[in-house]
A and B are shown apart, each in its own frame.
Chain A
């Protein structure tokens, strides 16, 4: 049985992230899709290897967080390592320019089409 996140040992999270608590930019959205560009290598940190295996197909940051049983902020740190190493790429959501910026009617039409097919 997997440990609940609530009971997570802070020391373990510290070890996983190498003691880092934040990353520059914070540009990885919950729904940024991550894609592997390489296979895991021997000796790689197990969380890194697991991300690479999962992301053979595009996987959202928030899904990785649920899969790994790690808070989103910790997953962001792990992903920054992999992005820096060039072994994953990120497909970012469309930028929203301001809080009241609405998506284009064209995009919303696509969303409606998709929903109606449900």
Chain B
């Protein structure tokens, strides 16, 4: 489901001094609002592209795996936020299904952190993503995308997700720019706290 975006002319280019690309991943199940969130904060209309991966022998010299070599294609959306003259942040919307994770491991290496977008009607879509991010040591926050009045408190949701206390859990409306922005700020605040705690004390 890639759309090949050819309207480069309609898109503002980066600043000439842009130097450092940063990444944040928005992960979640199908239809939870990942692209909506990317769109609401992005300075460009979200773009879509795809990556092809050869599944066997990726990064290893295992010749026995060549027999089972297959190519997989995964489409993903992204948007962009210019932070200042040098820093530009890319937001990637990534499907959270189990079968895609070996791809995201490679695509999103070096990401600042992740937002797990949760639809409370389909909590099970989030379990695998949360488990995987924890296993990976990728810092993340969980955002409940509200479709109407929530039926459960955030504490109930935390229990249902078996989410550790130290992981921030927030409500959001992914359609609203200020709300999506607040989720990103919550993630970076969380990163800042983790990073500050780890700085060697003088």
Contact surface of A with B, Cβ cutoff 8 Å: 2-6, 21-22, 29-33, 54, 57-60, 62-63, 65-67, 69, 71-74, 91, 93-96, 99-100, 102-105, 108-116, 118
Given the known A-B contacts A4-B3, A58-B14, A111-B83, are A102 and B198 also in contact in the complex, defined by CB atoms under 8 Å? yes
Chain B residues with CB under 8 Å of A29's CB are: 21, 109-110
- B137 lies within 8 A of A100 (CB): yes
- B4 lies within 8 A of A111 (CB): no
- B78 lies within 8 A of A62 (CB): yes
8 Å CB contacts to A: which residues of B83-115?
A: 83-84, 87-90, 92, 107-110, 112
Given the known A-B contacts A58-B14, A71-B52, are A99 and B188 also in contact in the complex, defined by CB atoms under 8 Å? no
Chain B residues with CB under 8 Å of A2's CB are: 4, 6
Chain A residues with CB under 8 Å of B41's CB are: 118
Extra contacts besides A73-B51, A96-B109 (15): CB < 8 Å: A2-B4, A5-B50, A29-B109, A30-B92, A31-B21, A31-B22, A33-B88, A58-B19, A60-B80, A62-B78, A71-B49, A71-B51, A72-B49, A102-B191, A113-B84
Q: Quick check: is B23 within 8 A (CB to CB) of the other chain?
A: yes
- B191 lies within 8 A of A4 (CB): no
Given the known A-B contacts A96-B109, A100-B137, A115-B181, are A71 and B50 also in contact in the complex, defined by CB atoms under 8 Å? yes
Which residue from chain A places its CB closest to the CB of B137 in the assembled complex? Answer: A100
Task: State the main secondary structure of chain B at its contact with A.
Answer: mixed
Chain A residues with CB under 8 Å of B89's CB are: 111, 114-115
Which residue from chain A places its CB closest to the CB of B136 in the assembled complex? Answer: A99
Which residue from chain A places its CB closest to the CB of B82 in the assembled complex? Answer: A114
CB of A7, distance to nearest CB on chain B (Å): 10
- B137 lies within 8 A of A99 (CB): yes
- B49 lies within 8 A of A57 (CB): no
Chain A residues with CB under 8 Å of B20's CB are: 91, 93-94
In the bound assembly, the distance between CA atoms of A75 and B90 in angstroms comes to: 18
- A112 lies within 8 A of B188 (CB): yes
Partner of B2, one of A5, A54, A91: A5
21 residue pairs of the A-B complex, CB under 8 angstroms, read: A4-B2, A4-B3, A5-B50, A5-B75, A29-B110, A31-B90, A33-B21, A58-B15, A59-B13, A60-B21, A62-B47, A65-B50, A72-B50, A73-B52, A93-B110, A99-B136, A103-B112, A109-B192, A112-B185, A113-B83, A118-B177
Chain A residues with CB under 8 Å of B1's CB are: 6
8 Å CB contacts to A: which residues of B2-50?
A: 2-6, 8, 13-16, 18-23, 41, 47-50
In the bound assembly, the distance between CA atoms of A31 and B19 in angstroms comes to: 10
Which residue from chain A places its CB closest to the CB of B51 in the assembled complex? Answer: A72
Q: Quick check: is B189 within 8 A (CB to CB) of the other chain?
A: yes
8 Å CB contacts to A: which residues of B175-202?
A: 177, 181, 184-185, 188-189, 191-192, 194-196, 198-199
- A57 lies within 8 A of B14 (CB): yes
- B48 lies within 8 A of A66 (CB): yes
